[in-house]
Amino acid sequence: MDTIDREEILKTSKWIRFLFMVLYAFLINFVLPITIGLAFIQFLFVLFTSKTNASISNINSYIIEFFNDCIAFLIFETEQKPFPFKSNHNNEAVIEGDSVEVSKEPEEDSNEVSDNVNHESKD
């Protein structure tokens, strides 16, 4: 490390990452007082009702995920930017099931059913 590589220092990708790091550091400092306020409100719910508020718990889970993602980005654990740049491919649910074959009924039967419904509604 005797020489400083000027090209490496001037890479725009590194400076863009630095700007994002400053932005997310600022956002963490902005969200932290909100988180403390939500913690106090949640304490009041537990104090008076002995239960946590589900809406606040839901918000808290998003805040925890945001903090984890920001910290991981800031300390170079990941190159993936946090919200709103984060892609949620790993959160997509895959639903597997058995395929069911549906046979189409003759149209005459469906017409008879609709005619019967029309006649019944007129009565």
pLDDT tens string for the chain (123 positions)? 567 788 888 889 899 999 999 999 999 999 999 999 999 999 999 999 999 999 999 999 999 999 999 999 999 998 888 887 777 655 545 455 565 565 665 555 555 555 555 555 555
The answer to whether the pTM exceeds 0.85 is no
Instruction: Pick the closest to residue 74 from 23, 12, 11 (CA basis).
Output: 23
82 burial (CB, 10 Å; 0-12 / 13-18 / 19+) is buried
Judged by DSSP in three states, 1 sits in coil
